[in-house]
Amino acid sequence: MTALAQRDFTLTPEDNERLANMAGPFDEHLRQVELNLGVEIANRGHVFRVTGPKAVVADAQALIEALYAEAGDVVFDSHAIHLRLNQANVEHVVERAYEAQEVAIKVKRGTVRGRGANQARYLHQITTHDINFGIGPAGTGKTFLAVASAVEALNEARVQRLILVRPAVEAGEKLGFLPGDLSQKVDPYLRPLYDALYEMLGVEKVLKLLEKNVIEIAPLAYMRGRTLNDAYVILDEAQNTTVEQMKMFLTRLGFGSTAVVTGDLTQTDLPKHVKSGLRDAIDVLRDVEGVSFTFFEARDVVRHPLVARIVSAYDRRDLQQVQPGAE
């Protein structure tokens, strides 16, 4: 286990307006720092306490002090905080804390390990929390690692069932216009989950487990009214859930079960007036004990190198739109 440490310090000069700017609405910016560095931040006014892995707390203090110094001249939002986290080279800071907690997953294709600090943290969180969120761009391994963890749990008999869920369509799950029976209608939306399972277990074994109902792949609407005990449940593409659907899904969890929710907030296909259930869950659940959040970024992309550059290009464009004065 990583040794925990605690640091107490006071931000000076005392300026309530600067403090509010740095902390963000409802301490949103401080929660970003917590989630990215894997620490806990508590404060009473300008007196702060940081608790976390020994290798990280000093860097967390330095980052908070730097943000506070800058807050006198710059109006912060969540995008600006993310940018400061990147500039502070947070990944290398966190790597030092999590290298002793590496989780190795054994599946048919071999051993799966996290690539980089965020993936390592994600796997560690999944092993220690009952509900886990993996949020970030395509290609960062969110779904792949979640399926790998689920397959390992099934192989080791830690769960009895594996349930993989997706919103069937962008909004409303209206499938009537598609040809074929219900299975044929929803299969295209669930295909990425089948692909991940085939890679982990092989096609023949997956088909046998599907026949025995040990593995279930279903549209989100099928979860309503159920209680899932001794199951490993993955909700993929969660950015396309409504607030009501997300609450419905999370409250299905029964005894002995683990849930992993994955999604990319930049790829939401819901109507503009409908709030994403994933975004709402971040706001509502970030301080709930037993729930973990891992946020992935462009540098975590493990697909073609060009994918990471594409994600970064879109992130820069979005940041400029939020801050029209940016060059």
Percentage of the chain surpassing pLDDT 90? Answer: 38
Which residues of the chain form CATH 3.30.1370.10? 4-95
Mean pLDDT of 136-155: 89
The strand pairing partners of 260, in sequence order, are 132, 234
Give the per-residue pLDDT at 170: 44
Give the per-residue pLDDT at 19: 96
- Higher pLDDT: 173 or 321? It is 321
Burial letters for 291-320: b for 16+ Cβ neighbours within 10 Å, e otherwise? bbbbbbbbebbeeeeebbebbbeebeeeee
CATH of 4-95, one of 3.40.80.10, 3.30.1370.10, 3.30.1490.100, 3.40.1360.10: 3.30.1370.10
| Fold that domain 103-322 belongs to in CATH | Rossmann fold (3.40.50)
Mean pLDDT of 241-263: 93
Give the per-residue pLDDT at 184: 56
- Higher pLDDT: 247 or 110? It is 247
> How many Å apart are CA 238 and CA 246, to the nearest integer?
8
Query: Residue 70: what are its φ and ψ, rounded to 5°?
Result: -80, -25
Evaluate if pTM is beyond 0.95: no
Give the per-residue pLDDT at 95: 55
Percentage of the chain surpassing pLDDT 70? Answer: 81
> How many Å apart are CA 163 and CA 200, to the nearest integer?
15
51 CB contacts (<8 Å, ≥6 apart)? 4, 5, 6, 39, 40, 42, 57
- Higher pLDDT: 194 or 64? It is 64
> How many Å apart are CA 207 and CA 221, to the nearest integer?
23
Give the per-residue pLDDT at 171: 38
Q: Give the type of residue at 72.
A: G
Which residues of the chain form CATH 3.40.50.300? 103-322
Contact 142, 114 (CB under 8 A): no
Contact 143, 132 (CB under 8 A): no
**Is the model's pLDDT at 67 over the cut of 80?**
yes
Give the per-residue pLDDT at 262: 95
Closest CA to 319 of 139, 77, 151: 77
**Is the model's pLDDT at 122 over the cut of 60?**
yes
CB atoms inside a 10 Å sphere around CB 127: 14
Mean pLDDT of 224-234: 91
pLDDT averaged over every residue in the chain: 82
Structure tokens at 113: 């390990």
HEC-encoded secondary structure of 5-62: EEEEEECCCCCHHHHHHHHCHHHHHHHHHHHHHCCEEEEECCEEEEEEEHHHHHHHHH
Give the per-residue pLDDT at 107: 64
Mean pLDDT of 99-109: 59
HEC-encoded secondary structure of the chain: CCCEEEEEEECCCCCHHHHHHHHCHHHHHHHHHHHHHCCEEEEECCEEEEEEEHHHHHHHHHHHHHHHHHCCCCCCCHHHHHHHHHHCCHHHHHHHHHHHHCCEEEECCEEEECCCHHHHHHHHHHHHCCEEEEECCCCCCHHHHHHHHHHHHHHCCCCCEEEEEECCCCCCCCCCCCCCCHHHHHHHHHHHHHHHHHHHHCHHHHHHHHHCCCEEEEEHHHHCCCCECCEEEEECCHHHCEHHHHHHHHCCECCCCEEEEEECHHHCCCCCCCCEHHHHHHHHHCCCCCEEEEECCHHHCCCCHHHHHHHHHHHHHHHHHHCCCCC
Least confident segment among 8-17, 47-56, 104-113, 225-234: 104-113
